[in-house]
A and B are shown apart, each in its own frame.
Chain A
Amino acid sequence: MSGSVARRSTLPGFGLTMGLTLTWLSVIILIPLAGLFLKTFELSFDQFWGIITSRRTLSALRISFGLSFAAALVNLVMGTIIVWALVRYRFPGRRLFDAIVDIPFALPTAVAGVALTQLFAQKGWLGAPLAELGIKVSFTPIGIFVAMIFIGIPFVVRTVQPVLIDLDVEIEEAAASLGANRWHTVFRVILPSLIPALLTGFALAFARAVGEYGSVIFIAGNLPNVSEIAPLLIVIRLSEFRYADATAIAVVMLVASFLIIFAVNRLQRWAQTCIPAH
């Protein structure tokens, strides 16, 4: 990509645009986020620790992180299958299904929430047949899991798809001509070079599901300690005017998501150095 040493630009407007950027960034993002951390410092460590280790908070965090992790795993597997089908095969409606993958990105979360709830409710199109099998989805933790799968799938597909498209077919042919069977080629040659993209997609889907609110709260049932996600607990604490509690939970979630972004950035750097450029 680059490689040449960039020259000093002679273009005007650096001071103005940079000033505008930093001002807007501070007003909208940095000061409000700093306020969040400042609020936390009003708590003593024992108070903070007491809030985040209370049974209800711990349950909410466990539900949010645990189910998000499980949903991201499902997205990892299903996303890989979808990418493979979209990139490697030709089938009727391929381009339509390619576009459909973006719907969870585009559909407002509240709309997704009520639609999924209705779909999986006991009298819903999918809820009714599942109820006959004895599986209840809406208003249970399974519902949370389903909503998280819905919102996470585009992250894996859109991260892995360009990498698989760019993958050099010659490597596969080389592997095949050296006597590797298809199974070996796929699992020893192709999948390893997809690993950075797969992990990035997994992390993005996981991070999104952890913070997700709109598409989850309708289908969740929201029973404390059973199906109450951490973002909802923040909202509940706020409505009870327990700002400190809300803030403590928010800080734990924020730090967790910063760690995830950090991991994603490292992954991408690792991918750029380890995967040969094309």
Chain B
Amino acid sequence: MSQPQAWSVPADNVHTEPGLIRFAIVAIAILFLIVFVVLPLVVVFAQAFSKGVGAYFSALSDPEALSAIRLTLLVAAISVSLNLIFGVAAAWAIAKFDFTGKTFLITLIDLPFSVSPVISGLVFVLLFGAQGFWGPWLQAHNIHVLFAVPGIVLATIFVTFPFVARSLIPLMQEQGTQEEEAAISLGASGLQTFFRVTLPNIKWGLLYGVLLCNARAMGEFGAVSVVSGHIRGETNTMPLLVEILYNEYQFVSSFAIASLLAILALITLVVKTILERRLDEGHIPSDD
């Protein structure tokens, strides 16, 4: 499937632009992507290693860094698994059944994508904060939601809410209900049908959703920043620690943590590309 990597145009495209314009368009596109996208990524690693490999690893093994890494992993594990269960349930209800208001429901599920991260945090402050609706009650019972792990988890679930459902719904709609109906009519239970018939069909789409959900959960900054309270060693996630260290001019430490998040982003992109190829292969061309 290798394509000739040369300055040529696809053979089916008889009419194209003059060579000079072609060259200019490609040059502008590449230059723009290098300046705005590649260089920021390179800067992260250049800064992280600016004082050498030793300084880099000692920054990462700092207790504060380790605690932030642990908290980020914990928050991501909880919010991704909860959104996974919800996402599969939502996709099953939406893709396999017909009901009125389906489009509206999908719009509601998509809502967090169009809400500013800061507002995603603010809504939980209004519910659980000292001046919030349930704040006084929580205080009286000594339950900590805000400026504690539960608040961070809630805000993270909010911003990562649509990912799994969004990647499953189109896939499951396309696959229809025939295979599941056959399984049921042959006497399989609902759960058997899901795990033996549906799950193998949607596994790549499911992984795709979990991957994007996880990347966002680990990297979320705005929403978490509003609800976390920035308590060192307790409620600082990795992105929050990047901010704190940067504002304290501890650039090597800040960019060292940032480099871990950048590596996470790069791995996510590579796996995403692989999964997209798998999903394309699994795509059955429908001519009927």
Contact = CB atoms under 8 A, between A and B. Distances in A.
Chain B associates with chain A? yes
A84 interface: yes
B77 interface: no
Interface string B8-39: 11101111111000100110111011011111
A32 B124 contact: yes
* A86, A91, A94, A113: residue with the most chain B Cβ atoms closer than 10 Å: A91
B152 to A, nearest CB: 14
B190 A12 contact: yes
Contacts of A102: 269, 272
A210 B116 contact: yes
Interface string A194-229: 000000000000010011111000100000000000
A265 B106 CA distance: 12
B209 interface: no
Interface in B163-217: 177, 180-181, 184-185, 190, 193-194, 215
A211 B122 CA distance: 13
A89 B5 CA distance: 10
Interface stretch (B53-61, B88-96, B136-144): B88-96
Interface string A109-153: 111111110110000111000000000000000000010011001
A254 B114 CA distance: 8
Contacts of B254: 114
A49 to B, nearest CB: 20
B180 A11 contact: yes
B37 A153 contact: yes
B41 A11 contact: no
A234 B119 contact: yes
Interface in A149-203: 149-150, 153, 169, 172-173, 176, 182, 185-186
Contact of B119 (A36, A108, A232): A36
A89 B26 contact: yes
Given A29-B158, A115-B258, A238-B226, A150 B36 contact: yes
A157 to B, nearest CB: 10
A36 B37 contact: no
A108 B135 CA distance: 30
Contact of A109 (B9, B112, B177, B221): B221
Given A20-B89, A211-B119, A257-B115, A81 B43 contact: no
Given A107-B41, A110-B242, A150-B37, A235 B123 contact: no
A1 B29 CA distance: 34
A273 interface: no
Interface residues of B, number: 106
A255 to B, nearest CB: 11
A72 to B, nearest CB: 14
B29 A85 contact: yes
A100 B116 contact: no
Interface residues of A, number: 96
Interface string B80-123: 00100110011011101111000001011111101111110011
A125 B35 CA distance: 10
* A94, A214, A246: residue with the most chain B Cβ atoms closer than 10 Å: A214
Interface string B243-285: 1001000010011001001101110110011000000000000
Contacts, number: 300
Contact of B37 (A16, A28, A101): A101
Contacts of A186: 17
B41 A103 contact: yes
Nearest to A265: B107
Interface in A26-59: 28-33, 35-36, 38-39
Contacts of A211: 114-119
B122 A250 contact: yes
A11 B242 contact: no
Contacts of B98: 6, 8-9
A24 B91 CA distance: 13
B75 interface: no
Interface string B219-254: 111100110000000000001101100100001001
Contact of A30 (B7, B108, B124, B132): B108
Contact of B215 (A16, A106, A119, A213): A106
Given A243-B125, A250-B119, A125 B25 contact: no
Contacts of A231: 116-119, 222
28 contacts: A9-B97, A9-B98, A14-B96, A16-B89, A28-B154, A28-B158, A35-B127, A36-B122, A36-B123, A84-B29, A85-B25, A88-B13, A89-B7, A92-B5, A97-B33, A106-B266, A107-B261, A111-B219, A125-B39, A125-B43, A153-B32, A153-B37, A169-B12, A172-B15, A173-B15, A213-B118, A235-B226, A253-B116
Q: Across chains A and B, which 3 residue pairs bring their CB atoms closest together, nearest first?
A: A108-B219, A211-B116, A32-B123
Interface of B: 3-10, 12-18, 22, 25-26, 28-30, 32-33, 35-41, 43-44, 47, 82, 85-86, 89-90, 92-94, 96-99, 105, 107-112, 114-119, 122-127, 129, 131-133, 154, 157-158, 161, 177, 180-181, 184-185, 190, 193-194, 215, 218-222, 225-226, 239-240, 242-243, 246, 251, 254-255, 258, 261-262, 264-266, 268-269, 272-273
